[in-house]
Homo-oligomer: A and B are copies of this chain.
Amino acid sequence: MNASGTAEILTENGGKAPAKDAPQAIRLGVIGATGYAGRELITTLAHHPDVRITRLMSSGRQEKGAFPIEKTHPALKDRTREGQVRSCEPLDLDNLSRAAVDLVFLATPHETSHEIVPLLLARGLRVIDLSGAFRLKDTSAYRRWYGFEHLVAGALEEAVYGSPELNAEAIRSARLVANPGCYATSIILGLAPLLQAGWVDLASGIVCDSKSGASGAGRAPTQKLHFAEVNENCRAYGLFSHRHLPEVLQVLGLEESCFTFTPHLLPITRGMLSTIYLRLAPSPGISADAILDLYGKFYAQAPLVRVYERGTLPEVQAVAHTNYADVGFGFHASTRRLVIVSALDNLGKGAAGQAVENMNLMCGFPQETALA
């Protein structure tokens, strides 16, 4: 912030200049800008022709006062665009009003989102919350899964689960979008076509074994995420108890007893693979071709979901550093066993990319703008 109280803004290649008048551009705030999802939001939005970031804020940082965002994200050096703020300030609700911002991305801890979303909505701002604070419909579920008491039942009710493939219409007019969890996105996109079609033998149960890169666990240093503890390692965690489980059950309408989900930590930075095991219900018409056709039709209008032909399978490398979710499968016809493989970048389609996709829907832009 400079002396006159307006954020310092930059010309294309880094020189200082007065903010250009860009009346049609949507003005954005990114809260939680110092984390990995925050960085990804800034990087992705830099390629969007119709928006402008006017507020960068961090939550929970020790630093007092504003600092250039490249200080925490050196990759962003000189990359902020004309008319875009590059100074990151501590979270300050007074500086988040309709005068400066139209829509706010929250890449903040669950508890922070829970606290400030109602205040932002009250100011007339639209909000896309990347935390889990508004994904579940049942306030009491927050006690069990998130360990805090949810006090904003109204916002929970209003919140739209931000899965563009399932809820595009509701997202377009939403004030509050609860951006899905990364694991949840990969699972939901892998299972939705089959479940909607009623093809799954639910009595046999569904097993989902997911593997995620470490950036999904955030940027705060911990023993478990220390380099030498993750490198050359792979481990399961959160058996029967991961927070993305209840949102999967809620969105897909599944019982907890028939869905087993185990997340694993991979020694990679970005990307996630879910391997999903189930048995199809007996039916004369079911074949690999029919399954492929079902997925193809379900995602025909989804610009960021790619369905794989038979004989090829999604893998992390095909989606890392992209905003796509890839889905493929192998089918053992005689026993009706189906293995679905679903891949995405946990920071892309699993977080910031899907958030921008939701923003595109909310603002009437083509859904894949800045993402494909």
**When each residue 305-341 of chain A gets 1 if its CB lies under 8 Å from chain B and 0 otherwise, what string results?**
0100000111111111110101000101011010101
The distance in angstroms between the C-alpha atoms of A335 and B258, with both chains bound, is: 9
Q: A231-B231, A277-B260 are in contact. Are A13 and B372 (CB under 8 A)?
A: yes
The distance in angstroms between the C-alpha atoms of A77 and B78, with both chains bound, is: 31
**When each residue 213-230 of chain A gets 1 if its CB lies under 8 Å from chain B and 0 otherwise, what string results?**
111000101110111111
Check B268–A231 contact: CB distance below 8 A: yes
Check B78–A234 contact: CB distance below 8 A: no
Check A268–B269 contact: CB distance below 8 A: no
Which residue of B227, B279, B326, B341 contacts A227 across the interface (Cβ within 8 Å)?
A: B227
With a CB–CB cut-off of 8 A, which chain B residues contact A326?
74, 77
Shortest distance between the CB of A136 and any CB in chain B (Å) = 20
Looking at A257, A267, A322, A368, the one whose CB has the most chain B CB atoms below 10 A away is A267
Measured CB to CB, the nearest residue on chain B to A240 is: B332
With a CB–CB cut-off of 8 A, which chain B residues contact A222?
221
Check B273–A232 contact: CB distance below 8 A: no
Q: Is A139 an interface residue (CB 8 A)?
A: no
Check B330–A233 contact: CB distance below 8 A: no
Check B204–A315 contact: CB distance below 8 A: no
The distance in angstroms between the C-alpha atoms of A54 and B368, with both chains bound, is: 24
Q: Is A47 an interface residue (CB 8 A)?
A: yes
Q: Is A109 an interface residue (CB 8 A)?
A: no
Check B315–A240 contact: CB distance below 8 A: no
Check A221–B211 contact: CB distance below 8 A: no
* B-facing residues in A224-279 (Cβ within 8 Å): 225-237, 239-240, 256-257, 260, 262, 264, 266-271, 273, 275, 277, 279
Apart from A74-B318, A211-B264, what are 17 other A-B pairs with CB-CB below 8 Å? A13-B368, A74-B315, A75-B318, A213-B228, A215-B228, A221-B223, A221-B226, A225-B226, A227-B269, A228-B269, A231-B269, A233-B268, A235-B317, A236-B275, A239-B313, A240-B330, A264-B273
Cross-chain pairs A/B with CB under 8 angstroms, 30 sampled = A13-B368, A74-B326, A75-B317, A77-B306, A78-B306, A204-B205, A207-B207, A213-B228, A214-B231, A221-B222, A221-B223, A225-B227, A225-B228, A226-B227, A227-B229, A229-B317, A231-B267, A232-B271, A232-B316, A233-B316, A233-B317, A235-B317, A236-B275, A237-B313, A239-B313, A239-B330, A240-B339, A256-B335, A257-B337, A262-B277
